[in-house]
Structure 1
Amino acid sequence: MLKYQVIAEKIYHSICQQDLPKGSQLANIEELINQYQVSRTTIIKALDRLERKSVIYQVQGSGIFVRQRKKKGYLNLVTSNGFTEDLGNLAGGVQVLTLDVIFPNDEVQTNLNCQADDEVYYVKRLRYLDGKIYALEQSYYLKKLIPYLNREIAENSIFEYIDHVYQINIGFSDKYLELIAIDELTGCYLQLPAGTTALFMQEIFYTNSGEPFDFSKVIYHKDNAKFCVQSHAK
């Protein structure tokens, strides 16, 4: 991770460890500079990151304050942190259904801006939340950016792995949502009747430099998935 991202994580964990309630005032910028021994630019970028992630809000002339935490078990549709980070300890097991190296079809080529002969990892997983089926996820990762994946990695957080091993950080993502009637096979995975209405989300994840590396399609369980939107005006 970049230095400002590391500092943002440290500030966030400090808020969590102290269990600071909504409206708690944090140290000012000068105090944070001294505490973490980094530049003003790094602190400002770290605070901006936390504000975008709805952790804090800043009031000019007054200070930096803790924002209302989202309810447990709710997935934030605005952020691009991945299931593991966003859902925390409630993000239960992952069942890897498929992990293959394939050549991308037209849809994947378009979304990953790649060619027909660019290999991609295809990962199909069932995700669980608090012991219940949460979502069916199909993801495509560019192999030229992520040279190695295996089932053990896919059973945990792929994003944490690629951050640690390949220093690939999520810069931003594009999300497209619609309601669909699930087919029979999807119904078998989600243990729902065919024709059930479910939320379908397509998401393209980009690196900090704007290069797409992951195209995912997720169908959420109608009873077990909950969502929130925490945004800010900037």
Structure 2
Amino acid sequence: MATKYQEIAAAIRKQIEDGSYQTGDLLPDQSTLAAQFAVNRLTVKKALDGLAKEGLIYKQSGLGTYVRGKIPFVNQETDIAVDDVRGGYEEYGEHITSKVISLDVLLPDEFMQQTLNLKRIDPVYEVKRIRYIDGEPVFFEHTYLPVKLVPELSEEICEKSLYEYMRKQKGIKLGNAFRKFSALAASTEDAEFLAVKKGTPILEIEQVIWMTNGRAAEYSINHVAGDKRSYTVMNVTNLGHN
């Protein structure tokens, strides 16, 4: 189910795509949009921030928010901003399903201790999942979580949404993420779980996610078949020097 800010973003996106808002048009200010959608300005700001990351709109300090229009090579269905920390269920809704390959508890090695800021005696979960979009395998996820963060983690929880469970059931507030992208050739394991040939190009996303209090919440390595997913970044700073 879409959140309110996603509904607002979708409504404005549709108005841009159907020509109700033309390239160069000035959007109504946040107060006007908040009244129009019966929400607060923070919700409107979150919606506009998302559209700005897609490149559909841009902001000029002191002047307002303008329509840029759709970037032809951006695919809304398969592309995601590199700094998006939504969970799969929030992004795909009922289209995503998960299959747990394994759920184990182990003691962290030196790398995991440093990455998740743990002691050697602090156990971590190791979760391997395949994520399907409309029944098609898209993500092979290899995730590590501190046991003390979610002590009752189960396969049933992992088959749904880890992030949603952490947010709604545990009150964990996820904040920042650092992601590293690499191009690799599919391993035997990738070929099996992603239904591709061994050696097929895949995208590896290595990431750490922190909570808003600065504590590490997750370390993961995700593999995606090369033709199933793209990541985008919108530079919103001034590139030129006047």
Partner of residue 114 from structure 1, selected from 104, 112, 118: 118
Q: Distance in 2 between matches of 1:110 and 1:162?
A: 22
Q: Distance in 1 between matches of 2:209 and 2:57?
A: 24
1:165 to 1:143, Cα distance in 2 relative to 1, 3 A: same
Checking the alignment, whether the CA contact within 8 Å between 1:77 and 1:227 is kept in structure 2 is no
- The answer to whether residue 131 in structure 2 is matched with residue 136 in structure 1 is no
Larger mean CA deviation between 98-107 and 149-158 belongs to 98-107
Larger mean CA deviation between 163-172 and 64-73 belongs to 64-73
Shift >6 Å, 4+ stretches: none
Q: How do 1:142-161 residues align onto structure 2 when only pairs under 5 Å count?
A: 142-161=146-165
Partner of 1:213: 217
Give a deviation string over 1:60-100, Cα, whole Å, max 9, x none.
344335674852123333422233334x2474221111122
Partner of 1:6: none
Larger mean CA deviation between 184-193 and 26-35 belongs to 26-35
Q: Distance in 2 between matches of 1:49 and 1:102?
A: 39
1:50 to 1:186, Cα distance in 2 relative to 1, 3 A: closer
Partner of 1:92: 96
Larger mean CA deviation between 76-85 and 121-130 belongs to 76-85
- The answer to whether residue 52 in structure 2 is matched with residue 57 in structure 1 is no
Larger mean CA deviation between 108-117 and 180-189 belongs to 180-189
1:20 to 1:156, Cα distance in 2 relative to 1, 3 A: farther
Checking the alignment, whether the CA contact within 8 Å between 1:53 and 1:79 is kept in structure 2 is no
Give a deviation string over 1:16-64, Cα, whole Å, max 9, x none.
25633258465423335667675x7x57974685467547532334433
Letter in 2 for 1:82: G
Checking the alignment, whether the CA contact within 8 Å between 1:78 and 1:231 is kept in structure 2 is no
For structure 1, list consecutive stretches of 5 or more residues without a partner in the other structure.
1-8
Letter in 2 for 1:173: A
1:58 to 1:70, Cα distance in 2 relative to 1, 3 A: farther
For structure 2, list consecutive stretches of 5 or more residues without a partner in the other structure.
238-242
- The answer to whether residue 232 in structure 2 is matched with residue 229 in structure 1 is yes
Q: Distance in 2 between matches of 1:52 and 1:161?
A: 28
- The SS at the match of 2:15 is coil
Alpha-carbon shift at residue 217 of structure 1 (Å): 0.6
How much identity, in percent, do the aligned residues show?
24
TM-score between both structures, scaled by the size of structure 1: 0.78
- The SS at the match of 2:203 is strand
Letter in 1 for 2:16: P
Partner of residue 198 from structure 2, selected from 191, 194, 199: 194
- The SS at the match of 1:146 is coil
Counting matched residue pairs gives: 222
Q: Distance in 1 between matches of 2:107 and 2:57?
A: 42
Q: Distance in 1 between matches of 2:43 and 2:7?
A: 15
Q: Distance in 2 between matches of 1:91 and 1:65?
A: 32
1:76 to 1:32, Cα distance in 2 relative to 1, 3 A: closer
